[in-house]
Chains A and B, each alone.
Chain A
């Protein structure tokens, strides 16, 4: 159901083919698609409207460069504008206190406790002596949860089993941190709704009494239209210093990021990309823009893939991909790489909108076995030149690999689709700040 914005705009633009300028008339239709895509990506509808109005103003002045279509041009303007908005105020985590106090705030289940653990782990690696404070005295086993994480990370957790007052606990924790020479104090808090006056008062008091160096608003990246209300309410009370966007390992478009940035104008300092304690990353506006627009979080996928893919291989492959020469030998090589990578499925899942070509794929382990068997049943010539594979050869390959002609057809189809995809990406890239060519992005063994 998620088409990428460029696909949508292409179709919006079809009616207007042949026009080489961005005009009032052709832009209206395209911007409608942009707006729709943004709202489908959970950008708040008012912000989406404001955004497209700004894009319109920017776009109208521009002549379309010969080699790109107006829709490509507009995608680029939209993308740049998004990056611009989300990357506006970049800043690192502030650790200038003694100890530095970091306060978490957010709705129930947004990921505060998990992120507290992740941050403690991150700071510990940076050589900071870090204290975690169990300030959620309400949710069942919330303290036990933080203590478990603390044990796992070998980070001390401060808690008071009998004390039901988070403000007092936090104050005592800071005293404790001072006497014991901790550099950082991270205060986990209970989840709360912005309309819960009592709880909002509590966190306001927590702020007043602990004087934090950082207040991080932790928000689930799957949040919808309500993100603006909640972010605004928390910001009105706390004037928080940064945002943490969690659960980005999912396939949400994450439009809430844009909504929040526009409404509170605070930097997104970290993102959460998994349940494990090392699944924390800094925020990349370019990736987020691509993700919201349905271009896929290709870059972070590639980075993870890179860790295991042989550099030189990757370089060679990239060249081939550029020329759309990707053949079955490469396919086979990739299969081997993939086997090294382990959980391909999770990796693949990070690409929400790479394109229809690999959408709704069903990756089972046998898919690889069959794929490998089929390629191994091809002659070297066939592998290099898949165009050679006619009906007779297909039958032979199917027989040799214990598969069906239909499966062989599918595989060949996939290779061509991949080439096509690469071609498109090359084109996008040529048109400007589009996704960088992913190294090793063509994934074999995919089955619909």
Chain B
């Protein structure tokens, strides 16, 4: 029986015995300490489809469960399933492999951004003005670490990078970024703790321009998106950079933690409102969390996920790969 019984009307009335059996097995699964998901989802699909040639309710229930468990969220899960159903209705005889393909296609459609800028071969322009990346997000998601890793990548691809330590609030945040700048061996502009973050950002861009740097990356203090004053501060930081480079920041990178649940949607909404976010980095995907909520975010706000964080080391930043990501959603 499906979790939300979204498809109840599609099924013949479930007999109570089936229902009871399901319930019992659900509870047993809980007792086993959530060990249940050991078989991969696609494995389950295959099993579910043995002897069937169409999408049926059991299959959809499994799908529903897998998506919700990956933090995709109820409404987006419903949306994905509806789309899958529509496709299945058009073509009644879909086999397992086709179904897998269609499912992937439907999720990719949600993830697909309108204007694609591919990350791996992107060449940062060296036209005298620095390409400015401003990094924003709530507390502890991995902004500073992502900056370290990103600077390392950009440098390895032959562009010059400078960092700006505009998190002047959290204890030792400046020290943390300085250590990263040493690790990557790139210059940094810092004005110590408690300095005005907008001034630090301004100084960084100015210094980047003076030095002819290709890229400037600005770290900002983590802040919860519901704190209006702090969000206004972020807008101010963003705007002050324009005084040096009129079209800066070129990239506003919102960092989201893969373990965050549905609150990430509200985070995205508020950071977009304050800073016109145009790219997302999804961190901590080396853990057990799936980060499925970015599907809703990409779909709702049309903002591409550009990078993923897969560890704390300098090389642990990857370009976001939709297919890999979707596969990982269904893995245990």
Contacts and interface: CB of A to CB of B under 8 A. Distances in A.
Co-complex (A, B): yes
B247 interface: no
A349 B65 CA distance: 32
A349 B227 CA distance: 7
Nearest to A1: B265
Nearest to A277: B171
Given A194-B287, A220-B140, A253 B263 contact: yes
Contact of A45 (B68, B175, B178): B68
Contacts of B289: 224-226, 229-230
Given A223-B259, A256-B261, A109 B141 contact: yes
A208 interface: no
Interface in A1-55: 1, 28, 32, 35-36, 39-42, 45-47, 49-50, 53
Nearest to B287: A193
B4 A250 contact: no
Interface in A347-378: 349, 363
Contacts of B3: 35, 39, 45, 49
Contact of A249 (B30, B224, B229, B286): B224
Given A46-B29, A50-B30, A53-B23, A222 B288 contact: no
A247 interface: yes
B210 interface: no
A140 B30 contact: no
Interface in A121-159: 138-142, 144-149, 152
Given A229-B288, A232-B33, A363-B228, A222 B170 contact: no
A47 B71 CA distance: 14
Contacts, number: 180
A32 B4 contact: yes
A242 interface: no
Contact of A36 (B4, B170, B265): B4
Given A1-B265, A109-B142, A144-B175, A224 B259 contact: yes
A317 B183 CA distance: 59
B312 A232 contact: no
A232 B140 contact: no
A111 B29 CA distance: 31
A247 B139 contact: yes
A188 B248 CA distance: 39
Nearest to B300: A1
Interface string B92-120: 00000000000000000000000000000
B34 interface: yes
A108 B284 contact: yes
A441 B154 CA distance: 51
B60 interface: no
Contacts of B290: 225-226
Given A45-B68, A109-B140, A149-B171, A39 B74 contact: yes
A324 interface: no
A69 interface: no
A338 to B, nearest CB: 14
A42 B263 contact: yes
A49 B260 contact: no
A413 to B, nearest CB: 22
B83 to A, nearest CB: 19
A3 to B, nearest CB: 12
A369 to B, nearest CB: 17
B159 interface: no
A252 B74 contact: no
Contacts of A145: 170-173, 175-176
Nearest to B226: A349
A445 B193 CA distance: 35
B22 to A, nearest CB: 10
A45 B29 CA distance: 13
A251 B226 contact: yes
Contact of B34 (A46, A49, A139): A46
A334 interface: no
A224 B71 contact: yes
Contacts of B29: 46
Contacts of B263: 42, 222, 250-253
B69 interface: yes
A229 B34 contact: yes
Contact of B261 (A46, A142, A148, A222): A222
Interface string B1-44: 00111000000000000000001001101100110000000000
A299 to B, nearest CB: 18
A194 B288 contact: yes
Contact of A346 (B68, B73, B229): B229
Nearest to B36: A46
A225 B140 contact: no
B257 interface: yes
Interface string A219-248: 010111111111011000000000000010
B180 interface: yes
Given A45-B68, A224-B261, A224-B262, A195 B312 contact: no
B262 A40 contact: yes
Contact of B228 (A45, A49, A263, A349): A349
A110 interface: yes
B70 to A, nearest CB: 7
B172 A225 contact: no
A175 interface: no
Contacts of A28: 5
A343 interface: yes
A33 to B, nearest CB: 9
Contacts of B321: none
7 A-B pairs with the lowest CB-CB distances in the bound complex, closest first:
A224-B261, A109-B140, A42-B261, A140-B179, A349-B226, A148-B171, A226-B289
7 contacts: A107-B259, A140-B179, A145-B175, A225-B290, A229-B288, A250-B263, A251-B226
Interface of B: 3-5, 23, 26-27, 29-30, 33-34, 65, 68-71, 73-74, 138-142, 169-173, 175-176, 178-180, 183, 193, 224-229, 257, 259-266, 284, 286-290, 293, 312
Given A36-B4, A145-B170, 4 more contacts: A110-B140, A148-B171, A224-B259, A227-B261
